[in-house]
Structure 1
Amino acid sequence: MDLPERDGDGYLVDRDCWTPEIGRAMAEADGIELDDEKWEHIVKAREYFEDHAVVPPIRKFAKFMNADQKGMFTTWMTGPMKPITKYGGLPKPTGCV
């Protein structure tokens, strides 16, 4: 699959071209395996963004997901909001991520 243009951090230049297939292909190209749990984070982050027009900080997002924040760091092995937003075709998070 040909990936759409991405910026220096790997985010889509045109967020409107995101599809679930593109999100998965981007992760694969970056060597990231998206299991069901990670995919659920991505879907929920997209829902949150649609409702609030903003990427939530991890504290708010963990609460929104009714999930353990530390568990999310363990799942992603990094600050979770960056890969969640990247593969979800969302804007880069700002502030504490």
Structure 2
Amino acid sequence: MASIEVGGKSIEVDEEGYLVDRSEWTSEIGAHMAELDNCELTDAHMEVINFLREYYEEYQIAPAVRVLTKAIGKKLGKDKGNSKYLYELFPYGPAKQACKYAGLPKPTGCV
């Protein structure tokens, strides 16, 4: 099993870089994972990441991109609940990439 080093602590990740134990997640770990992908997390990124974490707590599932887009639109408004906005923030796939930085499992159906 692979690991990343954050704040002097070794954190286990799977072969795709997702946290093995999601209870270990902190915003610093999310930011470090983003850095490894040459991405700097902004407040806009964190808004989506925090939304995903709340969604996961409620439904116990990481949403696929279509569900994510619709749910964000309901909660954060149409300007943020669209694929264009989400792909600008997370170009490698809003559901897949945002879930990774949020310390959540890879959404079902993501390649």
Distance 1:82 1:43 in 2: 14
Out of 76, 79, 88, the position equivalent to 1:74 is 88
Could you say which residue in structure 1 is the equivalent of 2:12? Answer: 5
Distance 1:3 1:25 in 2: 12
Out of 25, 37, 54, the position equivalent to 1:47 is 54
2:25–2:102 CA contact under 8 A, matched in 1 = yes
Could you say which residue in structure 2 is the equivalent of 1:17? Answer: 24
- What's the % identity of the aligned pairs? 45
TM-score (norm 2): 0.78
The structure that is strand-richer by fraction is: 2
Could you say which residue in structure 1 is the equivalent of 2:100? Answer: 86
1:14-45 residue CA offsets vs partner (Å, 9 max, x unmatched): 21111112111221233211111111110000
Q: CA deviation at 1:51?
A: 0.7
Distance 1:63 1:50, change over 3 A: same
Query: Which moves more between the two structures, 50-59 or 70-79?
Result: 70-79
Aligned length: 97
- 1:5 is paired with a residue whose SS is strand
Q: Runs of 4+ in structure 1 displaced over 3 angstroms?
A: none
Q: Tell me, which stretches of 5 or more residues in structure 2 are unaligned?
A: 1-6, 74-80
Greater RCO (CA < 8 Å, at least 6 residues apart): 1
- Structural RMSD (CA): 1.6
1:3–1:26 CA contact under 8 A, matched in 2 = no
